[in-house]
Amino acid sequence: SLEIASKRIKPLDPQLVNRIAAGEIIQRPFNALKELIENCLDAGSTSINIQIKEGGLKLIQISDNGCGINKEDLKIVCERFTTSKLKEFEDLKSINTFGFRGEALASISHVSRLTIITKTQDSPCAFKAMYSDGKLAKDGIKPCAAASRGTQIIVEDLFYNSSIRRNALKGGSDEFAKIYEVVSRYAIHNYHVGFYLKRIGESSMDLKTPGCSIRSVENENYLQDVIGILYGADMKKELERISVEYDDRLKFEMLAYMTNSRYTQLKQLTFVLFINERLVDCQPIKKSLQNLFQMYLPKSTNPFIYMNLKIDPKNLDVNIHPTKHEVRFLYQDEIISRIEKSFEEKLLDSSTSRSYYVKN
Ligand code: ADP
Ligand code: MG
């Protein structure tokens, strides 16, 4: 009979485990940047400055004016599952910050050369530390001069230790296009925060929004301004506001802006969706709106839609893996039909008052 030797089972080297996990979370430069932006917002920043080299593959540098990181925490900040945002599993139910798993910085440190410069309000100076593979580099934490409170994260040579990943990416301009998309979406949703995006070596900046410090109904003209900055004044003047007041039974509310049928520049639907402050995908919502607009807009005309959806955290599955951007929530079908109805009312409303094109 054939002899088959059983191989011994051995645990994987922890460094390898961490690098595999990191590769799952950080697949392209924009994944890293999204996590870093969310951290800036979690830290209460009102100004976020982003500088990019080679589509983020060479450099992602992001500076904020948020709360900063305590010197004592710099030792462990890049270890996996270290966070200031979650203590118990129960907290998951009411979490309102973006990150909660303490994995982003750890992951980034496993696939790049990572430097953190940070200053808290009380600290007389800033501190600088470099990391690789989740650990503080040998030269430790060094004091350095800094004028004001905040954090700067510098990510260099992304995927330097993974040539397969590095080579699979097409190149700087494709990666920058995704980076621009992510920054612009966060800039719309967080119109109260001033965003600045620039490619190092280019003469002009790519994006700059004013910020207004407080996100409120009174300040929604700033939201429209940001859309105007990104897509042009022609689009801005065709925006319509749609809202659904908090529904006690379905436990959700919605605010959206969409372009009306006079705006015909878009080749495909642009759907910017935030649920509970996270940029996410939800195919069922997207599909329902696509079908609806098909009935009301002229052929091959597509809307821009920004949607801010708030769902009771109890009804939303937030314990999703960072790579899964598709979300699920309770009462999904009912909520979607309420949303659809509110859009349809607006489309009908505008079609009677402003001679919309309606298909029969
Ligand atoms: P998470 O956001 O899930 O907590 P991260 O790895 O993204 O995990 O960040 C780890 C911790 O580092 C955060 O909990 C926070 O305390 C701190 N941190 C990261 N970025 C910033 C920042 N820009 N400003 C202030 N603190 C930060
Ligand atoms: Mg985070």
Q: Among 257, 342, 244, 340, which residue's Cα sits nearest to residue 294?
A: 340
Residue 237 CA to ligand 2 center (angstroms) comes to 36
Say which CATH class 233-353 falls into. Answer: alpha beta
What is the CA(198)–ligand 2 centre distance, in A?
Answer: 22
Give the per-residue pLDDT at 328.
82
- What amino acid is encoded at 211 in this protein? G
User: 39 C-alpha vs ligand 1 centroid, how far in Å?
Assistant: 5
Reported ipTM: the value is 0.99
Region(s) of the chain under CATH 3.30.565.10 = 14-208
| pLDDT of 44 | 95
Report pLDDT for 277: 87
Give me the percent of the chain exceeding a pLDDT of 70: 90
pLDDT tens for residues 83-117? 777 555 555 555 444 444 678 899 999 999 999 99
Task: Name the segment(s) of the chain with CATH classification 3.30.230.10.
Answer: 233-353
pLDDT in tens, 245-288: 999 999 999 999 999 988 988 989 999 999 988 888 899 999 99
Token couple for 125 = 């100076």
Indicate whether 80 pLDDT > 90.
Answer: no
101 Cβ inside 6 Å of ligand 1: yes
Which H or E run includes 33? helix 29-42
Residue 15's pLDDT is what? 83
Is the shortest distance between the CB of 70 and ligand 1 below 6 Å? Answer: no
- The reported pLDDT for the residue numbered 305 is 98
- Asked if residue 100 has its Cβ within 6 Å of ligand 1, the reply is yes
CATH entry, 14-208, from 3.10.28.10, 3.40.50.620, 3.10.150.10, 3.30.565.10:
3.30.565.10
Per-residue confidence (pLDDT) for residue 96, from 0 to 100: 47
Q: 10 Å Cβ neighbour count for 66?
A: 21
DSSP 12: P
**Nearest ligand 1 atom to alpha carbon 64:** 23
Q: Report how far residue 219's alpha carbon sits from residue 169's, in angstroms, rounded to the nearest whole number.
A: 40
Give yes or no for residue 104 CB within 6 A of ligand 1. Answer: yes
Q: Which residue has the higher pLDDT, 321 or 160?
A: 160
Query: What is the CA(150)–ligand 1 centre distance, in A?
Result: 12
pLDDT surpasses 60 at 356: no
Indicate the residue type of 87: K
8 A C-beta contact, residue 93 and residue 314: yes
